[in-house]
């Protein structure tokens, strides 16, 4: 009897294993033979009801124009949940049909053949105006002729400042310094120390950095001319002298000058608790509710020049999805000139025809063109995207952990610590 039970269990287990393992190699692509209209799932990380409503509207328009699609569902999760869910879903061979994807993940997903080549669809759709897509912004998503994603949002990390606090300490308005060409990290740090001493408030908040999201440190890193790895993502450059200078500056700001929060400390700029914050352009809507005078400027320059960091997200379709053709057409629809113009109310676009201060003003209702002009100039002249590693997930996890362990502590010896960081992430890089 016992043997029979064990035998039966083993049989069930084997059957399930076979079924489970057969999964990923099974059906992928194709519209299926039947003419039944299909439903598409699109995953994104917007929470703003207006933005979601716009997507729903565009989805309905798409359904009206495409007989083979009966419904498009936009599912919203947080970005960190998205990073958790996508691999699980892909590993279980049940991804959404399309989604937003941050540029950091581009190479990793492309190398894994997880994304659909959109090029044929984009070129095929009437009125798409493929050549209007700004080449420089498409670069991370292109491989030869193939195009695996269409960037729809190119948000620069900019500096928001509390003008009242600058005034109270009798300091020059940062935008004046930008005009005078003296706007750099040294000046900012001097100003912030004075403001902290005068008001007791935090000087600078790197938004969403929290000592675990190294990407948010890029404005500082770029200003010092640093880069975490070489262009091919093969060799760790975290221990370069530029990085040493950048992280030493951070260390001084945190522990010596005490102008930016310590690890674990939370602070809030929008409620008036800090003099400046570095956040995405998309955060500007929050200015509508603040009760202080504010301004925006490009992030400060440094010894490495004026580094303007730009974050990017694209829309992609998944090759393991069941309706790859319809999904590709959906992405094409959402990024056509008309849709992207509508989306540019929230997301800085990637079409040459839309890249001007007027469109950006539309996407930043709280700010005027005069405030945005210097930022746009900075983006166009010095803009650099997030560095992409071939095994992004693993490299990012290792980098964040190593920085936390070796570099962010109060008694860290920065040069030695950065060498330890390189030792930790080098094995995850492509070389």
Partner 1 sequence: MAILAQNRAVGTGTGGDKTPPVPAVRRFFRANAFGYALIAPQLIGFAIFGLVTTVQSIWLSLNSINALSGVTTFVGLENYVNLITGDRFPLVFTNTVFFVAAFSLLNIAVAMGIALLLNNRLRGVNIFRAAVFIPALVTMVAWALVSRFILQPEGLLDFLVSFTGAEETPWLRSRWLTLTVIIFVQLTKNVGINVLLCLAGLQAVDRELLEAAETDGAGWWARFRHVTIPQVSPTLFMVFLLTVVASFKVFEVILILTNGGPGYETNVLSFMIYDEAFRRHDFGEASALAVILLLMIIVVSSVLWAIRKKLVYAEND
Partner 2 sequence: MTKRRTTPRVRIGRGVNYLTLIVISCVFLGPILWMVLGSVKSDAEILSYPPTLFPSEFKWSNYAQVFELQPFARQFFNSVFVMALVCALTVIVSACAGYAFARVKPLGSSILFLVLLSATFIPPEATIVPLFQLVTSLGWIDTYYPLVIITVFLHSAPIATFILRQAYLGLPKELGESARLDGASDLRIFLTIYTPLVRPSLAAVVVLAGWHSWSQYLEPLIYLRDTEMFTVPLALTQFYDPFAGPMWGIQMAATTLSVLPVLILFLFAQRHVISGLTAGAVKS
Q: 10-39: which residues touch partner 1 (CB under 8 A)?
A: 12-13, 16-17, 20-21, 23-25
Q: In angstroms, give the least distance from the CB of 23 to partner 1.
A: 8
SS (H, E, C) the chain: CHHHHHHHHHHHHHHHHHHHHHCCCCCCCCCCCCCCCEEEEEEECCCCHHHHHHHHHHHHHHHHHCCCEEEEEEEECCHHHHHHHHHHHHHCCCCCCEEEEEHHHHHHHHHCCCECCCHHHHHHCCCCCHHHECHHHHHHHEECCEECCEEEEEEEEEEEEEHHHHHHCCCCCHHHHHHHCCCEHHHHHHHHHHHHHHHCCEEEEECCCCCCCHHHHHHHHHHCCCCCECCCCCCECCCCHHHHHHHHHHHHHHHHCCCCCCCCCCCCCCCCCEEEEEEEHHHHHHHHHCCCCEEEECCCEECCECCEEEEEEEEEEECCCCCHHHHHHHHHHHCCHHHHHHHCCCCCCCEHHHCCHHHHHHHCCCCCHHHHHHHHHHHHHHEEECCCCCCHHHHHHHHHHHHHHHHCCCCCCHHHHHHHHHHHHHHHCCC
Minimum CB distance to partner 2, residue 200 (Å) = 9
Site string for partner 1, 301-330 (x = CB under 8 A): -------------------x----------
Nearer to partner 1, 299 or 391 (CB): 391
CB of 259 to partner 1, least distance (A): 14
CB of 192 to partner 1, least distance (A): 17
Q: Residues 210-239 vs partner 1: string with x where CB under 8 A? A: -xx---------------------------
**Among partner 2, partner 1, none, residue 288 binds (CB under 5-8 Å by kind):** none
Q: Smallest distance from the beta carbon of 21 to partner 2, in angstroms?
A: 9
Per CB under 8 A, the segment of 31-39, 148-156, 228-236, 406-414 that binds partner 1 is 406-414
Query: For residues 90 and 165, which CB has a smaller minimum distance to partner 1 in the complex?
Result: 90
Q: Does the protein bind partner 1 through residue 406 (CB under 8 A)?
A: yes
Q: Give contact residues for partner 1 (rule: CB under 8 A).
A: 9, 12-13, 16-17, 20-21, 23-25, 83-84, 86-88, 90-91, 93, 108-109, 112-114, 211-212, 261-266, 320, 393-394, 396-398, 401-402, 404-406, 408-409
């Amino acid at each position: 009897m016992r043997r029979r039970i064990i035998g039966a269990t083993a049989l069930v287990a084997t059957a399930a294993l076979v079924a489970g393992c057969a999964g990923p190699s099974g059906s992928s692509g194709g519209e299926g033979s039947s003419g039944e209209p299909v439903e598409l799932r699109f995953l994104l990380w917007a929470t703003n009801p207006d933005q979601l409503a716009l997507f729903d509207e565009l989805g309905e328009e798409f359904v009206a124009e495409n007989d083979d699609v009966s419904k498009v569902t936009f599912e919203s999760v947080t970005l960190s949940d998205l990073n958790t869910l996508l691999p699980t879903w892909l590993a279980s061979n049940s991804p959404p049909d399309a989604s937003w994807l941050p540029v950091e993940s581009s190479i990793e997903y492309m190398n894994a053949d997880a994304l659909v080549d959109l090029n044929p669809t984009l070129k095929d759709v009437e009125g798409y105006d493929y050549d209007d897509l700004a080449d420089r912004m498409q670069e991370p998503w292109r491989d030869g002729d193939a195009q695996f994603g269409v960037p729809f949002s190119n948000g620069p990390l900019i500096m928001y400042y509390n003008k009242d606090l600058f005034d109270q300490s009798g300091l020059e308005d940062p935008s004046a310094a930008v005009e005078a060409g003296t706007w750099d990290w040294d000046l900012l740090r001097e100003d912030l120390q004075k403001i902290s001493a005068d008001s007791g408030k935090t000087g600078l908040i790197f938004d969403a950095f929290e000592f675990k999201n190294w990407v948010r440190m890029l404005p500082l890193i770029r200003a010092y001319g640093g880069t975490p790895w070489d262009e091919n993502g093969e060799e760790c450059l975290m221990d370069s002298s530029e990085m040493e200078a950048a992280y030493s500056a951070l260390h001084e700001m945190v522990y010596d000058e005490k102008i930016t929060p310590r690890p674990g400390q939370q602070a809030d700029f929008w409620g008036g608790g800090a003099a400046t914050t570095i956040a995405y352009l998309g955060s500007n809507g929050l200015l509508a509710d603040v009760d202080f005078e504010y301004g925006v400027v490009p992030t400060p320059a440094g010894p490495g020049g004026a580094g303007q960091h730009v974050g990017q997200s694209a829309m992609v379709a998944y090759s393991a999805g069941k309706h790859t053709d319809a999904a590709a057409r959906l992405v094409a629809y959402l990024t056509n000139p008309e849709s992207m113009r509508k989306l540019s109310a929230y997301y800085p676009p990637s079409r040459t025809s839309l890249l001007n201060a007027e469109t950006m003003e539309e996407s930043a209702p709280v700010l005027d063109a005069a405030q945005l002009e210097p930022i746009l100039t900075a983006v166009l002249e010095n803009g650099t995207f997030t560095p992409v590693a071939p095994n992004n997930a693993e490299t990012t996890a290792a980098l964040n952990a190593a920085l936390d362990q070796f570099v962010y502590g109060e008694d860290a010896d920065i040069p030695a610590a950065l060498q330890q960081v390189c030792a930790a992430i080098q094995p995850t890089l492509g070389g």
